[in-house]
Chain A
Amino acid sequence: MTGQSKSPASTRPPLVQRVLGVLMMTAIIGAAIYRGMLRPDHFGIVPSKMYGHASISAKRAQEQYGFSFKECATACGINFKHQAPQLDPKLSNVMPDVASMGASVTVVDYNHDGWPDIFVTNSGVGTQCALYRNNHNGTFTNVTDQVGLNDLNAPGTGVCMGAIWGDYDNDGYPDLLVYKWGQCMLFHNNNGTSFTNVTAASGIPAHSNINTAMWFDYNGDGKLDLLLCGYYPSTVDLFHLSSTRMMPSSFEFANNGGSKYLLENMGNGRFKDVTAKAGITSTAWTLAALAVPRNPKYPDIFLSNDYGESQYLVNENGKYFKDTSAHTLYWDPSGPGSLSGMNASFGDPLNQGKLSIYVSNISVGGELMQGNLLWMPKQGTSGTAIQYQNMGTNLGIDRGGWSFGAQFADFGNTGNQDLAVTNGFYSGDPNKSYWYDFGKIDGANYHLISDAASWPAFAGRSLAGYERKRLWVGDGEGDFTEAAQMVGFTDRFDGRALAVADLFNDGAEDLLEATERGPLLLYRDYPNPVNHWIEFDLTGTISNRDAIGAVLTLTWNNKHQRQAIVSQQGFCAQNDHRVHFGLGSSTTVQQLEIEWPSGLKQIIPGSSLRTNAVNPIKEPSRIG
């Protein structure tokens, strides 16, 4: 009932009502005309200017936001271009969608010289991945052939999706696992000089379609175990399809994805599949996994799943994983539902001494608005009863485009974490969009969705292409300012993996971005020099030697910030093994607390730590 129904038809409304009505109509029509005038270049979509440039000077960005970036990959000797895989021709109509991943980047000090090196994957059959050795002078040298990491995409073996580094035999040198759509590969690091392919005897599955993996010590025995997470089902050979009915069964509730493999490190270079014994049954479309050190000795598993809900698996004393997602993540009926999880990374953006988990989804205005999530531990919950609540929208870090990799880091050394998010799905013809056709199937039923042949052809059109990246500058109190275009994070490539590392050992968190069918970008970070920093390089003795799973809580100036050492973090990425904290104007810290994966808790007084320096810390044999 409008309350107007009894008005006689001939009665003219009051003048004010008529004027307001005209104004309202004018506003609506004006909005339509304005929108009708917009063209792709008005949104900054100009393919010839994919790199862009900062809209303010570096000095002003440093003063206003605490730092500035300068993209310098080529100047640093990095000339890498990713190639997407070419799968079975039966998928040609949707090739940009199904072959949309594989650009990954990881940071590792493979030769133990104290300078971070870079490994980046390629995904075209026959293409080369690349290991860039740090030359200690601001440049890098491609040493892939020298160390024996060539031909990782040899015909018939599948294509690379990403890599993780972990010292599985505790010999002091990180080893390499390359996960693939095909046969994953394990390489043993020979004292930082070369790598030996040890896949055959390792017990790794012969064929799977893995899109994320992580090293973690799930049973607290001091040896790194392995979790491989499938995206497409293992039974699907993407290069020789028996059927095109291999797509997700739903955009929101798909459970026909790849199997997970929990491989226990037996200590002799062999891994034993204990997935079933550990109770891991997920067949979700997992794109990012994270080992959550709720209890550093027995880390939980967080799975960020595409086409469905994320999952939280509680580690029951290294014996069994229990899916507690309903209690841990989805306890709140007003909380988020099924989304398109593509990233999982830790952050402590409010300096609470708590690890939150950032999950990226799709937020494209006018098309699909899911919002990225920040799962923050709920006050008053802990232990196996821990619960998370989404604070992404409240903190204003939810609209990131078609988001992929994301990383928290203190780029300005202000003592507060910032958040970088890369995005962009497929940049084809900038004047033509696939969104309309995508809309035909995204609300349809599984008979349509699950069959790739049913999908409208991409035909070179863009889908959320040429997106502007996001960099939210945090103030540590919940206020984030989006400043990507100001600080110089300006490219428009289809971003996938982001990794942060102090590549030049200058106390700045540089940002690496792997782009799909595009270059590897290196954004060198120039923090405001008035700020200070501290870094820690942990070595396990009882724990695994990489100290993967260790949790560090730094206290300075009465602030607390927590970070964890994990292998995979983000989307197909691994950050610098060293842990970096910005300190703002403080030149001292109060204390560092380390929870080692062995269960040891160590407290180091600030007087023993050096700021503006890397502090090597070896796990003590016992405390006290």
Chain B
Amino acid sequence: MANAQVAPVPNKPVHRFKINQRFMYPMLATAILVTGQLSFKFLTSPVGTIMGILAAIVVEIVFSLIFVKKLPILTSAYLSGVSVGILVQATTIWPYMFCAAVAILSKYLIRVDGRHIWNPSNLGIVTLLLVAPAYASTLSAQAGNNYVAIAGIWLVGCLTINRIKRFHICFTYAAFFLLFAALRAVILGHFVSNESFMQEAGPITGPMYQLFVFFMITDPKTTVQSWKGQVLVAFLVAFLENIFRIYGTLASPPDGTLGNIVATHAPYFALTIMGPTALLLEIRSKRVAKRLQLAVQQA
């Protein structure tokens, strides 16, 4: 999920209660973790969750010492660990640790122009699903059938995200998810089977999507920098997820195959593909701009 670090915002508005923005994501994630477990025990392996958090922290410390030569601030690793701990479903502990380790490793090893290009926990989950699908899945629990709880999480999440100026990403993604759900319901419902808007929109009412929307697609470190670019990428993630979902409905790929894993975990794979693509394009355009600037200066 998101790295906690948020770039300083000039002319920052004054809030009555000042909370360091670095801690906003971890606090929200911790609130969801604790509330979800205490109210409806949504963790498959609470011990696995704890071990995932610990693994993320340990790997962060070790690789920071190796490559950056100093101790890291651990909010990012903690957040990745919590995210993985909530979203991974496994009865054994190692998938949590593996996923958390891949998430943190990717930050240090897969970098372009000094930036890591994948949302760490998103890549960790996708890697786990590709490498060891027989041992793990992702969160598919309900939020206890409690509309108040669901509304509460959305409200708190939106307020928190709004405070760190990322609400437009969440809103764009959610709006297009619902729009595409409606389109699928109309088109597939007419030509394929009994697809309805309720069926197609159903997944977004679950806690998995709350985590995906609030933490993964808004990650400040792995989203493009412009407001318009962020909106465009959120749309493209929803669009690609929609393609995967149409494929899931039309092809119904058999269990265990790549197609099945991609379709049943469509948002993760959509972000895995679209997020770095957008980021690489941004990096490339910056390089081009820099070269042009240099050329102009030299001329």
Q: Mark B24-53, 1 if CB is under 8 A from A, else 0.
A: 000000000000011011111111000000
Tell me the A532-561 residues at the B interface (CB within 8 Å): none
Closest to B265 in A: A366
A365–B134 CB distance below 8 A: yes
A436-B248, A448-B199, A462-B254 known; A31+B131 contact, CB < 8 A = yes
* Residue B226, interface by CB 8 Å: no
Q: Mark B57-101, 1 if CB is under 8 A from A, else 0.
A: 000100010011011111110000000000001111000000000
Stretch at the interface among B136-144, B152-160, B166-174: B136-144
* Residue A239, interface by CB 8 Å: no
A8–B195 alpha-carbon span in the complex (Å): 50
A439–B260 alpha-carbon span in the complex (Å): 11
Which label, helix, strand, loop or mixed, suits the secondary structure of the A interface? loop
Residues of B within 8 A of A442 (CB): 140, 142
A366–B129 CB distance below 8 A: yes
* Residue A608, interface by CB 8 Å: no
A366–B3 alpha-carbon span in the complex (Å): 26
Residues of A within 8 A of B286 (CB): 9
Residues of B within 8 A of A36 (CB): 257-259
B255–A366 CB distance below 8 A: yes
A445–B202 CB distance below 8 A: yes
Residues of B within 8 A of A456 (CB): 193-195, 199
Residues of A within 8 A of B47 (CB): 334
Residues of B within 8 A of A20 (CB): 109
A3–B116 CB distance below 8 A: no
A457–B4 alpha-carbon span in the complex (Å): 42
A9–B199 CB distance below 8 A: no
A274–B248 alpha-carbon span in the complex (Å): 50
* Residue B279, interface by CB 8 Å: no
* Residue A337, interface by CB 8 Å: yes
A317–B213 alpha-carbon span in the complex (Å): 53
Tell me the A424-483 residues at the B interface (CB within 8 Å): 430-437, 439-448, 453-457, 459, 461-462, 464-465
A367-B137, A440-B202 known; A35+B254 contact, CB < 8 A = no
B203–A366 CB distance below 8 A: no
The one of A366, A399, A444, A454 in contact with B260, judged by C-beta atoms closer than 8 angstroms, is A366
A250-B145, A367-B255 known; A2+B92 contact, CB < 8 A = no
Residues of B within 8 A of A320 (CB): none
Q: Mark A27-60, 1 if CB is under 8 A from B, else 0.
A: 1100110011011100101000000000000000
How many residue pairs link A and B with beta carbons under 8 A? The number is 251
A562–B115 alpha-carbon span in the complex (Å): 61
Closest to A93 in B: B194
* Residue B289, interface by CB 8 Å: no
Closest to A434 in B: B252
Closest to A35 in B: B258
* Residue A252, interface by CB 8 Å: yes
Residues of A within 8 A of B37 (CB): 333
Residues of A within 8 A of B38 (CB): 333
Tell me the A58-84 residues at the B interface (CB within 8 Å): none
Residues of B within 8 A of A43 (CB): 254-256
Residues of A within 8 A of B106 (CB): 24
* Residue B284, interface by CB 8 Å: no
Q: How far is the CB of A511 from chain B (nearest CB, A)?
A: 25
Q: How far is the CB of B84 from chain A (nearest CB, A)?
A: 14
A32-B258, A366-B264, A371-B91 known; A436+B249 contact, CB < 8 A = yes
A333–B46 CB distance below 8 A: yes
Stretch at the interface among B9-17, B204-212, B227-235: B204-212
List 20 extra interface pairs beyond A9-B114, A439-B140, A441-B199, CB under 8 A.
A1-B72, A3-B68, A7-B68, A13-B111, A28-B131, A38-B258, A250-B144, A251-B141, A333-B46, A337-B41, A365-B132, A366-B256, A393-B92, A435-B255, A435-B260, A436-B249, A436-B263, A437-B249, A443-B209, A446-B145
Query: 9 A–B contact pairs at CB < 8 A?
Result: A1-B74, A9-B115, A17-B67, A35-B133, A251-B142, A334-B47, A370-B91, A440-B203, A462-B255
